[in-house]
Amino acid sequence: MFGIIRVIIIYSMKTKLIISLSLIFLLPFFASAHVKWFVDPSAVLPIEPYSLADWQVLLGIMLAMVVVVIAFMLERKLPSLDKIFPSFFERINFRTASLFSIFIGIGLVIFSFNGYIFAPNIIAESSLGYAMLTLQAIIGAAFILGLRVKSASIFLLLLYLSVLIYFSGWELIDALDIIGVSFFILLFGRPKWGFKDSTLLEKITIPYQSFAVPLLRIFTGANLFILGFSEKLSRPDLGITFLHTHNWNFMQMLGFENYSDYWFVFSAGIVESLLGLLLILGLLTRPTAFVLAIFFITTLALLGPIELFGHIPHFAIVMILLVFGSGEKIRVRK
């Protein structure tokens, strides 16, 4: 009797969830998939790349190294929030992990509706590509509904490998965090608001659950670190073209009129790569995630929510890192 009641409650919760999210799923039909840096490739301005001979570049590298050293020292001195508020984090950990898979599912479905796989620059334009889009949407739906999410995460990894083979590996740099997402859901699963997964998978993955957060952190950090170079430090033309239509150079607004767009893009690249490095090392993970959240929210406010629905997985990752921190594995120890 209690089992029947439980099933009814779960289904009612999911029905409300589906109704609430249905409006979100309709929004992507009114949005256009953006390209790298929100820039049309045909309109990119010819800009000289940065050089190690530039004193600004050397200064930026040295400052980044200083920040890493300071972060290491603070990591050793500052107490962990898990030890200060243990009961609070124990209460929200499972709920946060469950919400994570839901948000990731929403992101995957939205990607499929927009016609791209994992990232806006990976467009499906063939029958195989459309099959990948369909699989991506099915995986997303499984994550949302909590249907064998660990099994679905394996298919997400297989989809990533398929896209890696079908498209060039360089294009998948924009979606390196998908590997971390897959491993997190595979190892952590769906503690709440879902159905039981494969018993075999549960037995295999439970002993490695402590690696879920570190793997998500490392792949997300690697994604940021690489993107800082690929989209900004090695391609200042993309950022400067973007700034010509979006006046985001706040340094000039603060009175630093000589702070050109050229060096503003460089600064953005250094900061993005630095944040990625801190995540890889597991240094000050929660403060780093907080800074990322501010960046995402600021971008959301400036470009509008419809243009940034593709960043839903990134918000979900930030949420995990804020709640779980670095994790206990694969990190610089105190």
Q: Give the max Cα distance, the chain.
A: 75
| More reliable by pLDDT, 301 or 114 | 114
Residue 206 belongs to a domain: yes
What does each C-alpha distance from 272 to 61, 132, 233, 317 come to in angstroms?
13, 30, 10, 16
Strand ranges (E), the chain = none
Which tens digits make up the pLDDT trace of 132-155? 999 999 999 999 999 999 999 999
- Structural domain range at position 130: 2-324
Query: What whole-number distance in Å separates Cα of residue 66 and Cα of residue 253?
Result: 27
Q: What is the mean pLDDT of residues 44-52?
A: 84
Summarised one tens digit per residue, pLDDT across range 176-192 is: 999 999 999 999 999 99
For range 3-26, the mean pLDDT: 37
* Structural domain contains residue 305: yes
Give the dihedral sign, CA 65/67/70/74.
negative
Would you say residue 110 lies in a domain?
Answer: yes
Q: What six digits make up the tokens of 246?
A: 């979006």
- Structural domains in the chain (count): 1
Is 330 among the domain residues?
A: no
Helix H or strand E encompassing 330: none
Within a domain: 332: no
How many residues in the chain? 334
Q: What percent of the chain has pLDDT over 70?
A: 84
Q: How far apart are CA 111 and CA 95, in angstroms?
A: 24
217, part of any domain: yes
pLDDT band at 119 (very low <50, low <70, confident <90, very high): confident
Rg, Å, the chain Cα set: 21
Give the Cα separation of 330 and 324 in Å (integer).
Answer: 14
State yes or no: pLDDT of 62 exceeds 80: yes
pTM across the whole model: 0.85
The per-residue pLDDT for range 66-81, each reduced to its tens digit, is 999 999 999 988 888 8
